[in-house]
Chains A and B, each alone.
Chain A
Amino acid sequence: MINKMLGRLEGADVWMGLSLMIFVLFFIGVCLYLCRMSNSYTETMKHVPLQDDADAHNSLNL
């Protein structure tokens, strides 16, 4: 079935155009979302790797 389906395509370049379009749309979507993202949220996330220094306490050998 898949052979027939793909065989009917007018050139596999249709796949390329479709995929490129998916990516461009997705990319635009991510950009729009990033523009709307709140700065307080990104500030919180940015500091996640630095938090464990504050949380880590005395080390213990067990």
Chain B
Amino acid sequence: MNKETFYYDNRIVRAFAWATLLWGVVGMLVGLIVSMQLFLPELNLTSWLSFGRIRPLHTNAVIFAFVGNAIFTGVYYSLQRLLKARMFSDALSNAHFWMWQLIIVAAAITLPLGISTSKEYAELEWPIDIAITLTWVVFGINMFGTIIKRREKHIYVGIWFYIATWVTVAMLHIVNSFELPVSFLKSYSVFSGVQDALVQWWYGHNAVAFFLTTPFLGMMYYFMPKMANRPVYSYKLSILHFWSLIFIYIWAGPHHLLYSSLPDWAQMLGVIFSVMLIAPSWGGMINGLLTLRGAWDKVREDAILKFMVVGLVAYGMATFEGPLLSLKTFNAMAHFTDWVVAHVHVGGLGWNGFVTFAILYWMIPRMWGTKLYSQRMANQHFWIGTLGILFYAVPMYFSGFSQGFMWKEFDASGNLKYNFLETVERIKFLYMLRSFGGLLYLSGVFLMVYNLVKTVKQGSFIANEQAEAYALDKAHDAHAGKPAYWHKWIETRPMTMLLFSLIMVSIGGMVQLVPMIFVKEQVKTISSIKPYSPLELEGRDLYIREGCNNCHSQLVRPFRSETERYGEYSKSGEYVYDHPFLWGSKRTGPDLVRGGDKAANKVYKNATWHYMHMLNPRETSPGSIMPAYPWLIDNSLDMSLLEGKIKAMRTLGVPYEKGYEKDAKADLMKQAEGIVAELKKDGYKVEPDKEIVAMIAYLHKLGRDLKPAGEVADNK
């Protein structure tokens, strides 16, 4: 049989590689700015540059723009070569590229404008969610089309990871994006409260698993052998690694909700599977590192291998720390603190960042038929980047420990030793050090960009790279008889592999989500909890627009240190009308869920305090790092969607009477007049239609309906 000649498409790889560099710089620059805003609140220059709006821009940019484009770069390069086939369709490749970039641009416009669903790493509104789905379908058709027309019979392990990534991300994105549109750029999550929290963290955790981990493991299994010029250490271990990892990962989401009002059984599941996750994660890391057996001397000289080694070690550290943080003892202290920020950045900067840099340094000279412009500069990048990670992570660990200990410390007379602001003051210097670490890391990226641009200039781009391979002998396959092993059989059938992967990842999701969503007994109702009034609902949407949940939690955990500071611990029945939930994941500022509990008076503040606080937080709270929100005082409330919002909420099960939407505006104005009168008593003249009034109404609603413990009723 004659060999067939064909050409690999390098143009699409080049496009995604440049996009990776561009969005990497942008995303990290925004990260540097938000980190500085935490010790220089004056840097919150305008509404669209305020922390709550651009922190999601940073996370979306680095996850979906930088890492996303890096994934597509690595996948489009390795997939063609592992399958010995050009991509299925150049048109689909180009459509995929441009659709993804347009989504990123849409995110970069909408998030600073405050157009957000509030759900972490899924903040983009429903039209963009649909665009993401369509783009993912285009990518899927192109990937599976290439797999089907391949010239290599067996599908290498790296591609299994790509298949699992594709199918799981599709499932996660679709389920977590169930939302009811109110207008073109406003929607409410179909799920509420604790159910929404579970779905969100099932998604959020597995976005880390199947967007930041599995595609990178797939790329590691291709690029590491290429970089080290030796085969992967153990192919058997890679099979065990793959199936164990994809099965276990999907269960671990509830460890983000420990000590919350999520039922104990779901929390326990999260803990057990998180601990089990160490085994496959470390299996993968060890397999990667041992691929370098006999080649460790190269690591001393070769910057690319240095990046890979530190990247894999960072992966090992993050995947050891993750299960540790999911143990209730550690979680009690670490949750809501900067410890978690340090944890994710060890993974993000070390694993995703360094592996991406290694791949770019390795791939770009080859696509331009030249050598890297400067090995020395790449080595400098490695050391600057490593120092950057250390300067980022170490201060954040200390900051997290400080917060965790100080929030829980009591004095000799049994009172909380520190107020919240004292803990903020203590960690400001650490925030400065963190920004220095970020600056170092970003400087390294600029060095890489320069090095790669110079590399490109000295080479000549190979748009279509020639290769030869025998055609896949389908006739032979069909008559080859029963394969010796089932896995050998599955490895030659991509759609079966997809189906098996889907079954594996679906089991964990269904076990956790189905009972929570369909069994009412999982959420105890509380008869005193009433739906939000129209003004409070509008205020809640402003809270979402400003991204307040990026810094303020709405979940009091059942610890004395929290009930003393904030008030009664949270129950699942409190959140039944919360579409979406707003528990948050970080306490840069204090918890607000008892902000309206005037009787307990732990965190309640009157209308005048809130007015002054929004105008200048430093006036009411010296040392505060919260941005000022003068536009809430200037802006008139947009009530054009009010009727639609009431109708949408009723559709979702909130018990507004039929036709109430017609009376909503009158009720809104009536409640607003009450707040205006309260402000007037203290000498502040405010119009009732201003946004600040709605925000105050919402903050005063939080925790107001909750009766003291003991009056929580079952819904039986």
Contact = CB atoms under 8 A, between A and B. Distances in A.
Are A and B part of the same complex? Answer: yes
Interface of A: 2-3, 6-7, 9, 11-13, 15-16, 19-20, 22-23, 26-27, 30-31, 33-34, 36-38, 41-50, 52-53, 55-62
Interface string B418-431: 00000000000000
Contact of A26 (B234, B243, B460, B488): B243
Contacts of B468: 55, 57
Interface centre among A2, A27, A44 (most CB of B within 10 A): A27
Contact of B269 (A16, A55, A56): A16
Interface in B441-499: 460-469, 484-488
B248 to A, nearest CB: 7
B84 to A, nearest CB: 7
Interface of B: 7, 78, 81-82, 84, 152, 154, 156-158, 221-222, 225-226, 229-232, 234-236, 239-240, 243-244, 247-248, 251, 263, 265-266, 268-269, 272, 369, 460-469, 484-488, 507-508, 511, 514-515, 518-522
Given A26-B243, A34-B240, A49-B158, 18 more contacts: A6-B519, A9-B515, A12-B519, A16-B272, A16-B511, A19-B508, A23-B248, A23-B507, A31-B240, A33-B486, A38-B484, A46-B235, A49-B78, A55-B469, A57-B467, A57-B468, A59-B369, A62-B7
27 contacts: A3-B518, A3-B520, A6-B514, A7-B519, A11-B265, A12-B266, A12-B511, A16-B268, A30-B239, A30-B240, A34-B236, A36-B485, A41-B488, A42-B234, A43-B231, A44-B154, A45-B156, A48-B154, A49-B81, A49-B82, A50-B230, A52-B81, A52-B82, A52-B467, A53-B226, A61-B461, A61-B464
A57 B157 CA distance: 25
Nearest to B229: A50
Contacts of A60: 7, 462, 464-466
A30 B520 CA distance: 38
B463 A34 contact: no
Contacts, number: 127
Contacts of B236: 34, 37, 42
Contacts of B514: 2, 6
A58 B507 CA distance: 48
A56 B235 contact: no
Given A12-B515, A60-B464, A49 B240 contact: no
A45 B81 CA distance: 14
A9 B154 CA distance: 43
Contacts of B244: 27, 30
Output the residue of A34, A59, A62 with the most chain B CB within 10 A.
A59
Nearest to B232: A46
A11 B222 CA distance: 45
Contacts of B508: 19
Given A26-B243, A62-B464, A13 B225 contact: no
Given A23-B247, A55-B469, A58-B466, A15 B231 contact: no
A50 B226 contact: yes
B226 A56 contact: no
Contacts of B462: 59-61
A36 B486 CA distance: 11
A43 B451 CA distance: 37
A49 B222 CA distance: 6
Contacts of B247: 23, 26
Contacts of A49: 78, 81-82, 156, 158, 221-222, 225-226, 231-232
Given A6-B514, A16-B268, A34 B466 contact: no
Contacts of B78: 49
Contacts of A41: 488
A48 B226 contact: no
A3 B514 CA distance: 9
Contacts of A46: 225, 231-232, 235
A3 B82 contact: no
B697 to A, nearest CB: 36
Q: Which 10 A-B pairs have the closest CB atoms?
A: A46-B231, A42-B235, A59-B462, A52-B81, A62-B464, A15-B511, A48-B156, A34-B236, A12-B515, A49-B225
Which of A12, A31, A36 gathers most chain B CB within 10 Å? Answer: A12
Nearest to A38: B484
Contacts of A44: 154
A16 B265 contact: yes
Nearest to A12: B515
B10 to A, nearest CB: 9
A16 B265 CA distance: 8
Given A6-B519, A59-B462, A60-B464, A52 B84 contact: yes
Contacts of A34: 236, 239-240
A56 B251 CA distance: 42
B464 A19 contact: no
A41 B236 CA distance: 10
Contacts of A38: 484
A12 B240 contact: no
A2 B158 CA distance: 38
Contacts of A2: 514, 518
A48 B82 contact: yes
Nearest to A44: B154
Nearest to B369: A59
A21 to B, nearest CB: 11
Nearest to A35: B236
A41 B491 CA distance: 12
A61 B463 contact: yes
A53 B247 CA distance: 34
B485 A30 contact: no
A23 to B, nearest CB: 6
Given A12-B515, A56-B466, A57-B467, A47 B507 contact: no
A45 B369 contact: no
Given A6-B519, A45-B235, A60-B464, A22 B156 contact: no
A12 B487 contact: no
A38 B485 CA distance: 10
B369 A15 contact: no
A60 B460 CA distance: 10
Contacts of A61: 460-464
Contacts of A47: 231
A22 to B, nearest CB: 7
Nearest to B519: A6
A27 B235 CA distance: 16
A49 B251 CA distance: 32
Contacts of A58: 466
